[in-house]
Amino acid sequence: MSLYKNCSSKTPIILYDYQKTRSSSCPKNFLKYFSGYLQTDGYSGYNSVCNAKRLYCLAHIRRKYHEIIINLNEEALKKSRAIIGFNFCEQLYKIEKNLREEYSAKENFYEKRKEIRNKEAKVVLEEFEKYVKVELENALPKSPLGKALEYTQKLLPKMKLILEDGSLEIDNNAVERAIKPFVIGRKNWLFSNTPKGAKSSATLYSIIETDKANNLIVEKYLIHLMNSLSEVDIITDELLEKLMPWNDNLPKELRIVAPKKQN
C-alpha cells in the first residue's frame, strides 16, 4: 500500500494506492500526469517518475544518526562523530520550528519561509555537506556511521530544493502520520487478504483520511456524500467538485467546530 499526499494545508488530499508489488512501474503509472516536486525516502523506485523533481526527507537522514547515538553512554557520545551529523539535522529542524511559530498563521508564510531558509538553512546544509565529505574519508563503509554518511551523501543535495519553494516541507512526516491508521487497522483484518479487498480499502481510506485532514465529521460527510450521489442520474465533474472534502461550500454541520478559547 502506497500513500500520496499533496503539500497544501488549505486543500489537503490523501490518496492510498494498492499494488501487488513495489515495482518502480507503480509510482510511475500513478504519477504519469504529475509534474512538480516529489518528496520521498531514498527508495530508488521513484526515480522512474517523469517530470518530477525528487525531494528527500530530512527525518530519514536524521534517523540514521539517531540509531547510532541512541545506544551510546554519555562518555561515548562526547567522542561520537555521528552526533555531529545528528546536530546538523537538529539545527535545520529548529529553523523550521521557529518559522512555524512566527509565521505559519500569516498569509505570506511560504514567502517568509523561503527567504529565511535561504539565509539560515542554506548555511547549515552547506556545512552538513562538508562534514559528510570529510567524515567519509575516514569512516568504514560497512560501519553504522559509514552507512549513515553514504545515505546522507545520496540524499542531501536534493534537500537543497527546499530553498526554491517555501511551500515544500523539510520532511514527509505528515505522510507517515497519515499511513498510521492503515498500519494499525491492518492487525484487525488479517484474514481479509484479496487484492480486490485491498483496493476497496485504499479507496475508503483515501476518502476518510482526506475528510479528517479537511476537518470534517467523517460519518456526517459520508451520509451527505451518499445522499447527494443517490439523488442524481448522471454524476458530473461539476457535482463531484461540489462534494469534495475541501470544498468551502459544504454544509457547515459537516465541519468540526474548534472549541472557543476561554479568557
In this structure, are 63 and 149 located in the same domain? yes
- Domain presence at residue 155: yes
Would the pTM of this model clear 0.75, i.e. be above it?
yes
Name the more confident of 64 and 174.
64
In this structure, are 85 and 141 located in the same domain? yes
- Domain presence at residue 228: yes
Is pLDDT of 191 > 80?
no
Query: pLDDT digit string (tens) for 80-133?
Result: 999 999 999 999 999 999 999 999 889 899 999 999 999 999 999 999 999 999
43 confidence band (pLDDT: 50, 70, 90): confident
Residues in Cβ contact with 97 at an 8 Å cutoff, skipping those fewer than 6 apart: none
- pLDDT for residue 179: 83
In this structure, are 50 and 179 located in the same domain? yes
In this structure, are 148 and 72 located in the same domain? yes
Local structure of residue 133 (DSSP, 8 states)? H
Query: pLDDT digit string (tens) for 244-263?
Result: 999 999 999 999 986 555 54
In this structure, are 100 and 16 located in the same domain? no
- Domain presence at residue 32: yes
Most confident of 47-56, 124-133, 205-214: 124-133
- Domain presence at residue 234: yes
- Domain presence at residue 93: yes
In this structure, are 48 and 178 located in the same domain? yes
- pLDDT for residue 260: 54
Q: Are 218 and 212 in contact (CB under 8 A)?
A: yes
Helix/strand/coil for 252: helix
Q: Please state the three-class secondary structure of 35-70 as a single string.
A: CEEEEECCCHHHHHCCCEEEEECHHHHHHHHHHHHC
- pLDDT for residue 192: 66
Q: Are 57 and 40 in contact (CB under 8 A)?
A: yes
Range of the domain at 220: 214-263
**Cell numbers linked to 85:** 551529523
- pLDDT for residue 14: 94
In this structure, are 189 and 246 located in the same domain? no
- pLDDT for residue 263: 47
Is pLDDT of 188 > 90?
no
For residue 2, give the nearest of 221, 250, 172 by alpha carbon.
Answer: 172
193 confidence band (pLDDT: 50, 70, 90): confident
Helix/strand/coil for 26: helix
Domain count of the fold of the chain: 3
Query: pLDDT digit string (tens) for 15-42?
Result: 999 888 888 888 899 899 988 899 988 8
